[in-house]
């Protein structure tokens, strides 16, 4: 069967070549008029309509001059831009065509519903599986979860005691470490200060120094006053 189709294709090609040769000989002898057409349109439907109008107009023009020879329109160049202008016809929506099957497909075993294994039944009360989207699926780089900051309490002495009756002054606060930065807050949660630490430094030592240096004087202004024991007069 394939040999027959091949021979038919070769025969049609030879006939088309002979036809083109005869037309070329008649054009050279002046028996046939060859008219080229160049058409630019937004859609194929509009291009075909313009082609038919151009052929009719050219044929009418030749007949009006008394030329009764056969007319061959060659070559015909159609340029489809895809941009439909006002008044141009649009191409009809093309319905999907059924796929072509070869004889090898027909000989292949058919697969039916019984050829698939049933899915395992979900147990009662089991939650339905949820899809987990990764950064590769969404295209958005997701940040790694960061551990919570831990605030550690600290206490520093801002004034030493003068005698046995003077307890001195202390300030309490908290510090946390975020990467290479130490942040200190006071006992009320207010920000006291922050500082970057270098390799080998103790974060707690840096935090205590910040708390001592950055504590405003107003916090110690309302301290309890301590008086020396002068005895009875």
Q: Is residue 226 part of a domain?
A: no
Output the pLDDT for position 222: 46
- The reported pLDDT for the residue numbered 156 is 86
Domain that holds residue 56: 2-80
pLDDT of residue 205: 92
Instruction: Out of 63, 80, 97, pick the residue that ends a domain.
Output: 80
The pLDDT value given to residue 176: 92
In this prediction, residue 119 carries a pLDDT of 58
Residue 68 resides in a domain: yes
Q: How far is CA 12 from CA 5, 17, 76, 124, 188, in A?
A: 11, 9, 21, 70, 98
What is the three-class DSSP state of 178? strand
Asked if residue 100 is part of any domain, the answer here is no
What pLDDT is attached to residue 178?
A: 87
pLDDT confidence of residue 60:
92
- The tokens for 73 are 């329109």
How far lies 32's CA from each of 35, 36, 72, 106, 232, in Å? 10, 13, 7, 51, 145
Does the predicted TM-score (pTM) go above 0.75?
A: no
Does 13 map to a domain?
A: yes
Residue in the structure block whose two tokens are 């780089």: 141
Handedness of CA 214, 217, 218, 221 (dihedral sign): positive
Q: How many domains does one find in the chain?
A: 2
Structure-token pair, residue 37: 């057409």
Q: Is residue 202 part of a domain?
A: yes
* 221 vs 216: CA distance, rounded Å: 9
The answer to whether residue 119 is domain-embedded is no
Q: Does residue 113 fall inside a structural domain?
A: no
Q: Choose the final residue of a domain: 64, 80, 96.
A: 80
Mean pLDDT per block of 10 residues along the chain (233 residues) reads 77 87 88 88 85 90 90 86 76 57 56 57 57 59 67 85 76 89 89 88 90 70 51 54
Domain end residue (candidates: 32, 62, 80):
80
Kind and range of the H or E element at 56? helix 44-64
* Residue at 108 is within a domain: no
| Burial grade of 184 (CB within 10 A; 0-12, 13-18, 19 or more) | buried
């Amino acid at each position: 069967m394939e040999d027959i189709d091949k021979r038919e294709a070769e025969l049609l090609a030879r006939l088309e070549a002979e036809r083109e040769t005869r037309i070329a000989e008649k054009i050279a002898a002046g028996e046939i008029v060859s008219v080229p057409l160049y058409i630019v349109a937004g859609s194929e439907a509009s291009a075909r309509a313009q082609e038919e109008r151009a052929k009719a107009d050219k044929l009418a023009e030749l007949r009006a001059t008394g030329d009764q020879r056969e007319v061959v329109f060659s070559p015909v160049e159609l340029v489809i831009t895809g941009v439909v202008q006002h008044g141009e016809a649009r191409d009809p929506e093309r319905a999907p065509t059924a796929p072509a099957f070869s004889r090898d497909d027909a000989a292949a075993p058919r697969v039916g519903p019984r050829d698939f294994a049933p899915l395992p039944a979900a147990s009662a009360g089991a939650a339905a599986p949820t899809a987990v989207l990764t950064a590769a699926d969404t295209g958005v780089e997701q940040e790694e979860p960061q551990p919570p900051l831990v605030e550690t309490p600290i206490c520093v002495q801002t004034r030493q005691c003068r005698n046995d009756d003077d307890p001195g002054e202390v300030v309490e606060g908290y510090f946390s470490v975020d990467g290479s930065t130490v942040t200190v807050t006071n006992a009320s949660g207010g920000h006291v200060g922050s500082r970057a630490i270098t390799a080998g430094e103790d974060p707690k030592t840096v935090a205590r120094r910040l708390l001592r240096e950055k504590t405003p004087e107003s916090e110690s202004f309302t301290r309890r006053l301590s008086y020396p024991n002068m005895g009875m007069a």
